[in-house]
Amino acid sequence: MSRLDSFIRRVTAQREILNFMIEQVQSVPGTVLELGLGNGRTFDHIREALPDREIFVFDRAIRANPRCVPDGEHMILGEIRDTLEFCGPRIREKAAFIHCDLGSGDPTTDLATQSWISPLIALHSAPGALIASGLALDLPGYEVLPLPGGVQEGRYFLYRAPAQTTRVAAE
């Protein structure tokens, strides 16, 4: 397969997955987190499909098309390992949809990312939140959702948070 064919297949699958998750998220209240602005393609797609949702976008740098950069309040710059843990006061609400597109293409970096990102995603998920990730995540208690038809197994990983978050009983 040519690199052009492979690119087209990858972005077509990404669009299928985003559209599938966007449909599911209509009934879940909460914000949207886009982890990895990149050139802003998927951010632009999500904001067009969910115009009434607040979307917070994370990246270590802005390299996006200038028309696809969120305003300063919604662009959270820095290492996601640091910013995602401490952005609670800024975003205030739990997320209904988290799209995690942090794959680097380097297997070691990706394994490391998988290990630290999973608990941070769990920290920010609203009950019933939808998670779409290019890397497999370790989210105990989350439902693993099937990929929409036509998307190759292992290309993306989809999860749904439990309807109720576990509360630690007060003494």
Give the binding site for ligand SAM (CB under 6 A). 36-42, 59-61, 79-81, 101-103
Q: How far is the CB of 51 from ligand SAM (least distance, A)?
A: 18
10 burial class (0-12, 13-18, 19+ CB within 10 angstroms)? Answer: middle
Judged by CB, which is closer to ligand SAM: 96, or 101? 101
CB of 86 to ligand SAM, least distance (A): 13
Residue 52 CB, nearest distance to ligand SAM (Å)? Answer: 21
Please identify, using beta-carbon distances, which residue of 111 and 141 lies nearer to ligand SAM.
111
The answer to whether the beta carbons of residues 30 and 95 sit under 8 Å apart is: yes
Contacts of 31 (CB under 8 A, 6+ apart): 53, 54, 55, 56, 91, 93, 94, 95, 96
* Closest residue by beta carbon to ligand SAM: 38
